[in-house]
Amino acid sequence: MMIAYLVMATMMVMSIVYLFGSITHRLVKYSNNKDDQNIQTFSMVRRKEIAEEEDAGRLTPSESLQLLSDVDYEENSIDGRKKRFFHNDILFARWVMLCVVVVAVLGSVSLYQQIGYSKEVAFTQDLQTKQLTPQKVNDFLKYRSARYDRVEDWYYLATDYVGAEKYQEAVAAFEKALEKLPRNAENRVNLLVEYAQAIFYANGGQSSDKMLKIVDAILQVEPTQATALDLKGVANFAQQNYLGAVLAWQEAIRYSVHSTERLALLSAISKARELGRIDYQQVAPIITDQLAVKIEWDASKLTWKRDDILLVYAVVKGQKMPIAIQRVFPEDLGQPILLTNLDSLMPTVTLAEVNRVDLVVKLANINDNDLTKGRIIGTKHGLLTNRKEIFVINVSL
């Protein structure tokens, strides 16, 4: 890159010098020729006038000789002035102007590069032409972070590192973002959660004192933060505190809204109960009743949109109010959806109070004020709760 810039700068300087030299040479040559012609014409006319005056008897030979001497003196005087330093000063001024032009051009290009507009323009062009690569994005985010040193720039760089599984770099970027973020900022907890996760992955998926310190700080501010509770359970499990792990993970399940996370937590709780010999009398299960659902569709007939969201809910036959409901985005449909007794809209009626339910899948737009106004795209009737199977629903428009 530097070599290309030097080649470009050299070519620009040579072009300007050549153009300036060519114009100057022509101007000087024209000016000198014109001056020489004027001097010669003046000298010839003056000598002719002196000769005519002498022939007419108005000048004596001595006076004529004196006047001719004066003409010679004038010619020599003009030639002398042309060779004085004043003329060299004009040439020097021209070279100074040339240097000013060169410095102005190269300086403006260098300033353009230094300010970074070229990188902004190049990134925008790559974005518009869909030529961005992960490396280009990362380079641009590093440039933005180093130049502007703002919270959002460090955050975007950190999340980019997480996506690339460069967790050590992500930890450093998150720390920079946290340094810039005010302690009373509204989104500080969310940033701390992602920071703690990055520390966890940077340590090879193992708990650490550093991670646990961040988790404790999060839970002091927001005790119901599901991800922090999950990480606390991981730390307890690593310390063989299986009871603490079960309690933390059950709280994480209580406040988690993602079926995939819940399924993983249920599996982890089962493992901790087994290793710690913790039965249901010692710690009652938080999920007592559940219904697992798998949604399938014909990709040739149904294509999900970016703003689509699905409501998956269970209702008792003859009633309209769901007794368990989950909001699911299309990208999460690869895993089973878990409806539990925790997902009740009504405090008195849950899956624990019924034996059979009807299952409904409704498609809505995330921007709608009332998601319940969406279209029903799939139903299944008379399903038994707490069955150890995954119910499949085929949906279609």
Report whether pLDDT(107) > 70. Answer: no
Which range among 78-82, 117-121, 154-158, 246-250 shows the weakest confidence by mean pLDDT? 78-82
How many whole angstroms separate alpha carbon 286 and alpha carbon 370?
30
**What is the arithmetic mean of pLDDT over 33-41?**
58
What pLDDT, in 10s, does the model give residues 120-159?
A: 766 677 767 777 788 888 888 888 888 888 999 999 999 9
Q: Are strands 290-297 and 337-340 parallel, antiparallel or unpaired?
A: antiparallel
| Number of residues assigned to the chain | 397
pLDDT at 311: 93
Q: Determine the pLDDT at residue 7.
A: 59
Q: Please state whether beta strands 356-365 and 375-384 pair in parallel, antiparallel, or not at all (unpaired).
A: antiparallel
Listed range (64-68, 79-83, 100-104, 244-248) with the worst mean pLDDT: 79-83
pTM for the model? 0.67
At residue 110, the pLDDT reads 64
Percent residues over pLDDT 70 in the chain: 76
Partners of 364 in the β-ladder: 309
Report the pLDDT averaged over residues 204-219.
94
Confidence of residue 66 (pLDDT cuts 50, 70, 90): confident
- Name the pLDDT band for 1 (thresholds 50, 70, 90): very low
pLDDT at 88 exceeding the cut of 50: no
Q: How far is CA 305 from the centre of its chain?
A: 24
pLDDT score recorded for residue 83: 47
Average pLDDT over residues 260-266: 88
Q: What is the pLDDT of residue 85?
A: 41
**CA 340 vs CA 37, 328, 353, 385: distances in Å:** 108, 15, 12, 9
Winning range, highest mean pLDDT, from 39-43, 112-116, 248-252? 248-252
- pLDDT at position 358 is 93
Predicted confidence at residue 12, as pLDDT, reads: 63
* Model pLDDT, residue 63: 73
Which letter, b or e, does each residue of 313-343 get, where b requires 16 or more Cβ atoms within 10 Å of its Cβ?
bbbbeeeeebbbbbebebeebeebbbbbbbb
pLDDT of residue 258 exceeding 90, the answer is: no
pLDDT exceeds cutoff 70 at 17? no
pLDDT of amino acid 50: 73
Per-residue pLDDT at 167:
95
Per-residue pLDDT at 49: 74
Per-residue pLDDT at 84 exceeds 50: no
Query: Which is higher by pLDDT, 251 or 17?
Result: 251
Sign of CA dihedral 55, 58, 62, 65: negative
Among the listed ranges 97-101, 289-293, 314-318, which one has the minimum average pLDDT value?
A: 97-101
Place 246 in a pLDDT band, splitting at 50, 70 and 90.
very high
Question: Which of residues 104 and 287 earns the better pLDDT score?
Answer: 287
Residue 298: half-sphere exposure toward Cβ, Cα within 13 Å: 6
Lowest mean pLDDT among 96-105, 126-135, 215-224, 388-397: 96-105
pLDDT at 99: 72
Determine which of 53-62, 111-120, 200-209 has the lowest per-residue pLDDT on average: 111-120
Query: Residue 218: which H helix or E strand, with range?
Result: helix 209-221
Residue 31 has pLDDT above 60, yes or no: no
What pLDDT shows up at residue 386? Answer: 80
Is 80 exceeded by the pLDDT of residue 100? no
| Average per-residue pLDDT for the chain | 82
308-315 and 356-365 beta bridge pairing: antiparallel
